[in-house]
């Protein structure tokens, strides 16, 4: 929720109908800023950790952690352990540059959609059909 709120541009007249729409929605630029904020706040593996573990991207790495010991949904016990170890204090320097954090977050998003659509593959690509299948599945099976 905070990423959504912090990513919105200032609305000059929030009491108008147009202002209310702007307050409740993100523009494309706001959405991109929210992605960057989430990517830099979320504990994701670094490129070095991904390479050392012989995975091609952060999505594969995180999905394997979830497979190793599932608690519920995507959160596996290994991920929870790593989360506790690597959680940094507010304002601490990033483990890697922000653009790499965004790339790793997007890789995770693509892998989750691929898995949820029932069609996992090596490359980080999505088709319209993948997204349709993902959206039609019950929420609990994602």
* 54 shares a domain with 36: no
* 100 shares a domain with 73: yes
* pLDDT, position 78: 61
Instruction: State pLDDT tens for residues 34-66.
Output: 899 889 888 888 999 899 989 999 999 888 877
Structural domain count of the chain: 2
* 91 shares a domain with 78: yes
Instruction: State pLDDT tens for residues 60-104.
Output: 988 887 776 544 444 555 666 666 677 777 778 888 999 999 999
Rounded distance between C-alpha atoms, residue 111 and residue 123, angstroms = 9
Reported in sequence order, the residue ranges of 2-141 that DSSP labels E, i.e. its strands, are 70-72, 75-76
* pLDDT, position 47: 94
Rounded distance between C-alpha atoms, residue 1 and residue 101, angstroms = 19
* 30 shares a domain with 70: no
Domain range enclosing 100: 44-141
* 112 shares a domain with 58: yes
* 102 shares a domain with 69: yes
* 66 shares a domain with 14: no
Nearest to 44 by CA among 91, 92, 106, 90: 106
* pLDDT, position 117: 85
* 33 shares a domain with 93: no
Determine contact, residues 37/49, Cβ cutoff 8 Å.
no
Please tell me the pTM assigned to this model. 0.75
* 112 shares a domain with 55: yes
The number of residues making up the chain comes to 142
* 81 shares a domain with 50: yes
Name residue, tokens 């299948």: 133
Instruction: State pLDDT tens for residues 108-139.
Output: 999 999 988 887 788 899 999 999 999 988 76
Pair of tokens at residue 73: 């949904």
Pair of tokens at residue 32: 């991109």
Determine contact, residues 130/119, Cβ cutoff 8 Å.
yes
């Amino acid at each position: 929720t905070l990423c959504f709120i912090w990513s919105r541009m200032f609305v000059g007249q929030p009491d108008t109908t147009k202002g209310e729409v702007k307050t409740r929605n993100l523009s494309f630029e706001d959405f991109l800023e929210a992605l960057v904020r989430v990517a830099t706040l979320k504990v994701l593996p670094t490129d070095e950790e991904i390479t050392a573990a012989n995975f091609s991207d952060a999505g594969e790495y995180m999905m394997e952690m979830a497979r190793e010991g599932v608690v519920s949904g995507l959160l596996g016990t290994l991920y929870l352990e790593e989360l506790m170890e690597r959680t940094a204090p507010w304002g601490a320097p990033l483990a890697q540059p922000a653009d790499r954090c965004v790339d790793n977050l997007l890789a995770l998003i693509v892998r989750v959609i691929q898995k949820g659509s029932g069609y996992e593959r090596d490359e980080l690509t999505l088709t319209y059909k993948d997204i349709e299948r993902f959206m039609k599945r019950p929420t609990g099976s994602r």
